Amino acid sequence: MSVIDDLLVRNARFAEGFAAGDLAARPALRLAVVTCMDARLVPPAALGLEAGDAHIIRNAGGVVTDDVIRSLSISQHMLGTEAIMLVRHTRCGLQTFTDEEFAEARKRTQGVSPDWVAGTFEDLEDGLRGDVQRIRQTPFIPRTDDVRAFVYEVETGRLRQVH
């Protein structure tokens, strides 16, 4: 019995009262959120989002990678979003090791190297400013007039904007 079996039970319960089958694929708030996969950060709860409201793109660190650019490009070109909210958070796991340490850890178990980097960072604000720049500079994201970056404090649940 894995934890996933338990989730199947929870899903059956969820589906019993399901009433959101007619929602449009286009996010109602025309918003895309990029954030970390961290388990302490639950974006719909922290941001007051409901089903159908926004795209939520998550990865380790909430870093704007090539694949995040891909998702944002599809989000804006094909699904009508306009605003982009970038959210990293305090005490992020990606601040606790370096790309080099990750490469070493991988080498102990694998003989091959990936074509991506871990994307670790020391400073949350600097990382977010770099991400905003990256979004503004890519030719694949058409709307960049409403891109804002935030740090979510896992200690308080509060967001603070990065300028």
Beta strands of the chain (E only): which ranges?
A: 31-36, 54-59, 83-89, 147-152, 159-162
User: Tell me, what DSSP letter sits at residue 153?
Assistant: -
Q: Determine if 128 is a binding residue for Zn ion (CB under 5 A).
A: no
Q: Determine if 149 is a binding residue for Zn ion (CB under 5 A).
A: no
Residue in 33, 36, 68, 128 binding Zn ion, rule: CB under 5 A: 36
34 vs 53: CA distance, rounded Å: 14
Nearer to Zn ion (CB atom), residue 54 or residue 94: 94
30 vs 142: CA distance, rounded Å: 14
Binding mask 58-97 for Zn ion (x = CB under 5 A): ----------------------------------x-----
Q: Determine if 38 is a binding residue for Zn ion (CB under 5 A).
A: yes
Please work out, in degrees rounded to the nearest 5, the angle formed at the alpha carbon of residue 80 by the alpha carbons of 75 and 83. Answer: 75
Nearer to Zn ion (CB atom), residue 76 or residue 120: 120
Positions touching Zn ion (CB under 5 A) are 36, 38, 92
